[in-house]
Amino acid sequence: MLGIEKEVVVFAVAVLSGASVRLAYKCLGCFREIKKHSLALMGIEDIIYWICAALYLSMQIYQTNSGRIRWHFILGVVLGAILMSLFVKKAEKFWGIFLHKKC
């Protein structure tokens, strides 16, 4: 691929990466609500999550841009995380009607 097509694919990968990272954190939050944790354990979980998220995003940057950090990749990650947050909020509202429980 050349030119703009490659950049569109890179942006789409960035959006999906941001959405994946946000969804993973939401799953961690749901797990915390199912099984209560101490503050120390939550801190350890957060550190592990952020290390894994950083490694995952670094791998995505390396695979899509040969390791170059570009502004549209950062924008795509942020946009993906925002869109996933909105989607999760709508899904919780929709499923909350049926389940009467929020994760």
- Break the chain into its structural domains and give their ranges: 4-99
Tell me, what's the pLDDT at 3? 81
User: pLDDT per residue over 43-89, tens digit each?
Assistant: 999 999 999 999 999 999 999 988 888 889 999 999 999 999 999 99
Q: Classify burial at 49, counting beta carbons within 10 Å of its beta carbon; exposed 0-12, middle 13-18, buried 19 or more.
A: middle
Neighbours of 65 (CB within 10 A): 17
Distance between CA atoms of 41 and 47, rounded to whole angstroms?
Answer: 10
pLDDT above 70: percentage of residues in the chain: 91
Tell me, what's the pLDDT at 42? 94
Distance between CA atoms of 61 and 58, rounded to whole angstroms?
Answer: 5
Residue 28: what residue type? L
Confidence of residue 36 (pLDDT cuts 50, 70, 90): confident
Average pLDDT, the chain: 89
Q: Residue 66: left if φ>0, alpha if ψ -120 to 50, beta else—which one?
A: left
Could you tell me which residue, 95 or 59, shows the higher pLDDT?
59
